[in-house]
């Protein structure tokens, strides 16, 4: 039997939509910036310090240490203290463990309370939830991600949370994607993966035969031009078109999809 002609968008209509969480649905970058601003406000050591530069330093240290924490080389608390000792040392702070821990504790309180979604994330999930099985595939701790989803008001919009901690493998390892597809009862061909991290989310998905959509919010360069890219989760209609292709009709109407693109 001849195969069905391809859709105008040249991909299979997905039934499963997978998302990364940190810096894809949860705005880690801007939450961390805001928290650093509050954590350093009023401290003479940070007078005149460029906060963007401080954020970049924090971000580099975090990126370097996060895989080691996931690999169990440091406990979470230990890593947090070490991270802040490295960040604070050039400013003459955090020399003692207690001082670094105190700063880290205060900062993490701000970071938690200032959490915000990536603009457009909530309307996007609300639009997808009735029509697709929606999963989160994340390299992070389960308790932290559960709490984060609850605070962001996303828990009820997600069908499955798949964490590297639960699976025992981190993206781009195919194992974590396999578990996600098992949990959501989908095949790679009917899934799409949306994420900001080129290696973990894009290459990881491609290796599994899942179509990736790269969220490139910060002007990165796309290494593979055939990979779909979005630079924001807004406007909703354009983002939906990139992620799911033809826009689904509201529930209750005919199960087929209408291409409004
Ligand atoms: Mg991410």
- Is the domain of 45 the same as that of 171? no
Ion ligand 1: protein residues whose beta carbon lies under 5 Å: 20, 22-23, 196-197
Q: Ligand 1 centre from 98 Cα, in Å?
A: 31
Q: Ligand 1 centre from 261 Cα, in Å?
A: 28
Q: Which of 113, 143, 166 is the last residue of a domain?
A: 113
* pLDDT (0 to 100) of residue 95: 83
pLDDT (tens digit, 9 = 90+) per residue, 137-187? 999 999 999 999 999 999 999 999 999 999 999 999 999 999 999 999 999
Instruction: Say if residue 1's pLDDT is above 60.
Output: no
Q: Which residue has the higher pLDDT, 26 or 250?
A: 26
Q: Which of 113, 133, 164 is the last residue of a domain?
A: 113
* pLDDT (0 to 100) of residue 94: 83
Q: Ligand 1 centre from 138 Cα, in Å?
A: 8
Q: Ligand 1 centre from 34 Cα, in Å?
A: 18
- Is the domain of 145 the same as that of 233? yes
- Is the domain of 152 the same as that of 242? yes
CATH number at residue 51: 1.10.150
- Is the domain of 164 the same as that of 215? yes
Q: Ligand 1 centre from 164 Cα, in Å?
A: 13
Q: Ligand 1 centre from 81 Cα, in Å?
A: 22
| Confidence grade of residue 4 (pLDDT, cut at 50, 70, 90) | very low
- Is the domain of 71 the same as that of 180? no
| Confidence grade of residue 19 (pLDDT, cut at 50, 70, 90) | very high
Q: Ligand 1 centre from 64 Cα, in Å?
A: 14
* pLDDT (0 to 100) of residue 98: 93
* pLDDT (0 to 100) of residue 39: 95
- Is the domain of 209 the same as that of 125? yes
Counting the structural domains of the chain, the total is 2
Supply the range of the domain harboring residue 135: 16-27+117-258
**Percent of the chain residues past pLDDT 70, beyond the cut:** 90
- Is the domain of 106 the same as that of 188? no
- Is the domain of 75 the same as that of 136? no
Decide if 10 is inside a domain: no
- Is the domain of 224 the same as that of 197? yes
Q: Looking at residues 180-198, what average pLDDT do you find?
A: 97
CATH number at residue 179: 3.40.50.1000
CB 244 within 8 A of CB 132: yes
Decide if 176 is inside a domain: yes
Decide if 201 is inside a domain: yes
* pLDDT (0 to 100) of residue 72: 87
Instruction: Say if residue 45's pLDDT is above 90.
Output: yes
> How much is the mean pLDDT over the chain?
90
Q: Ligand 1 centre from 6 Cα, in Å?
A: 31
- Is the domain of 66 the same as that of 84? yes
Q: Which of 113, 143, 170 is the last residue of a domain?
A: 113
* pLDDT (0 to 100) of residue 255: 42
- Is the domain of 124 the same as that of 224? yes
Q: Ligand 1 centre from 23 Cα, in Å?
A: 5
Q: Ligand 1 centre from 3 Cα, in Å?
A: 36
- Is the domain of 109 the same as that of 169? no
* pLDDT (0 to 100) of residue 69: 86
Q: Ligand 1 centre from 171 Cα, in Å?
A: 10
Q: Ligand 1 centre from 103 Cα, in Å?
A: 25
Q: Ligand 1 centre from 124 Cα, in Å?
A: 17
pLDDT (tens digit, 9 = 90+) per residue, 117-136? 999 999 999 999 999 999 99
pLDDT (tens digit, 9 = 90+) per residue, 81-106? 999 999 999 999 988 999 999 999 99
Instruction: Say if residue 18's pLDDT is above 60.
Output: yes
């Amino acid at each position: 039997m001849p195969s069905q002609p391809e859709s105008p968008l040249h991909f299979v209509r997905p039934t499963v939509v997978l998302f990364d969480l940190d810096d894809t649905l949860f705005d880690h970058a801007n939450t961390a910036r805001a928290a650093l601003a509050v954590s350093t406000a009023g401290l003479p050591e940070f007078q005149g310090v460029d906060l963007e530069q401080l954020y970049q330093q924090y971000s580099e240290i975090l990126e370097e240490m996060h895989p080691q924490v996931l690999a169990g080389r440091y406990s979470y608390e230990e890593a947090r203290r070490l991270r802040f000792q490295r960040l604070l040392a050039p400013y003459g702070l955090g020399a003692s463990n207690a001082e670094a821990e105190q700063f880290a504790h205060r900062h993490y309180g701000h970071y938690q309370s200032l959490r915000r979604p990536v603009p457009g994330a909530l309307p996007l999930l609300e639009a997808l939830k009735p029509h697709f099985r929606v999963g989160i595939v994340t390299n992070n701790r389960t308790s932290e991600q559960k709490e984060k989803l609850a605070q962001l008001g996303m828990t009820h919009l997600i069908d499955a949370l798949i964490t590297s901690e639960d699976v025992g493998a981190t993206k781009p390892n195919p194992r974590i994607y396999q578990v996600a597809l098992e949990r959501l009862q989908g095949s790679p061909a009917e899934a799409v993966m949306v994420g900001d991290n080129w290696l973990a989310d894009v290459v990881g998905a491609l290796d599994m035969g899942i179509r990736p959509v790269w969220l490139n919010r910060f002007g990165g360069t796309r290494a593979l031009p055939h990979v779909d890219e979005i630079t924001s989760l807004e406007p909703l209609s354009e983002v939906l078109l990139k992620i799911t292709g033809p826009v689904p009709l509201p529930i209750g109407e005919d199960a087929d999809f209408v291409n409004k693109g």
